[in-house]
Structure 1
Amino acid sequence: MRLQLGRQVLDRQIVDRDGWPVGKVDDVEFAVDREGFPYLAYLLSGPAALGDRLGGRVGRLLVALADRFTDEPPAPPLRLPLAQVARLDSAVWLRVRADELPRPPVEAWLRRHLTDRIPGADRASG
């Protein structure tokens, strides 16, 4: 299959198998097979991936902010193996549910240090 990454993959919404949003495709990661040919191995999502893709001051600022809101910097991007992609159309549809994926470090930090401290947060749905 031939893909134009800039048009068909980057910045697409990632949704789990039930249609719940997971994030956006912020960058991609290639690997090299035994014959030396590169192939698309992972879709990357999160501020670290986007910051690296953007580069420059804006990219560095985005990565620094993400690292500030994690317990163990640097905040790694969410790496989704291409095998977890079920289909690609206006969104990237995964074969797995969102709760089967690792929680993004910034989201985990915000939940622990902010959201969970709101009175009644333990009774909220979601």
Structure 2
Amino acid sequence: MLIALDLLDRQILDRDGRPVGKVDDIELATTGDGTPYVAALLVGQQALGVRIGGRLGSWIAGTARRLAPDDRKQPMRIPYDLVATVDSAVNLSVRRELLPDAPLETWLRDHLIDRIPGADHAG
């Protein structure tokens, strides 16, 4: 299967061309007759750590899980039906605001970025 070549590590863009993240892993499912299909794109360090595997992968995924808010212990999951096109990037049919934030990005924003003086002012 060439799914890995076609999707993994590609930039994900929302419908306005703004970056959402990169495809760190792919969730597969099967139809009733056993035909596999791409169910979702997984984004974030948790998915990347699992994909890398080994000690390094476990450390990356574990750190991301520990830093995630209590209600977000899984990687960001983008259902594949939100994908409009796949070319040099994965283009979504929705705006970034309709997607959940990646857990590590949420932690970094809440604990680091928001504490920088002037961070709450528009640029």
> Cα distance 1:67–1:25, how it changes in 2: closer, same or farther (>3 A)?
same
What is aligned with 2:34?
A: 36
What is aligned with 1:95?
A: 93
Letter in 1 for 2:110: R
Instruction: Please list every run of 5 or more consecutive structure 1 residues that lacks an aligned counterpart in the other structure.
Output: none
> Cα distance 1:74–1:116, how it changes in 2: closer, same or farther (>3 A)?
closer
TM superposition outliers: structure 1 runs of 4+ over 4 Å:
none
CA contact (8 A) 2:72 2:103 kept: no
| Rounded Cα–Cα distance in structure 2 between residues aligned with 1:94 and 1:74 | 22
| Rounded Cα–Cα distance in structure 2 between residues aligned with 1:75 and 1:48 | 9
Aligned residues: 123
Letter in 2 for 1:39: Y
Q: How far is 1:74 from its partner?
A: 7.0
Residue in structure 1 matching 2:57, options 59, 65, 79:
59
What is aligned with 2:115?
A: 117
What is aligned with 2:3?
A: 5
Q: How far is 1:44 from its partner?
A: 0.7
| Rounded Cα–Cα distance in structure 2 between residues aligned with 1:57 and 1:73 | 25
What is aligned with 2:12?
A: 14
> Cα distance 1:107–1:73, how it changes in 2: closer, same or farther (>3 A)?
same
Instruction: Please list every run of 5 or more consecutive structure 2 residues that lacks an aligned counterpart in the other structure.
Output: none
| Rounded Cα–Cα distance in structure 2 between residues aligned with 1:50 and 1:56 | 12
| Rounded Cα–Cα distance in structure 1 between residues aligned with 2:8 and 2:103 | 21
Report Cα offsets for 1:36-81 as digits up to 9, x if no partner.
2221111111101111111001101111221232232873111111
1:48 aligns with 2:46: yes
- The Cα RMSD (Å) is 1.6
CA contact (8 A) 1:67 1:73 kept: no
Matched residue SS, 1:123:
coil
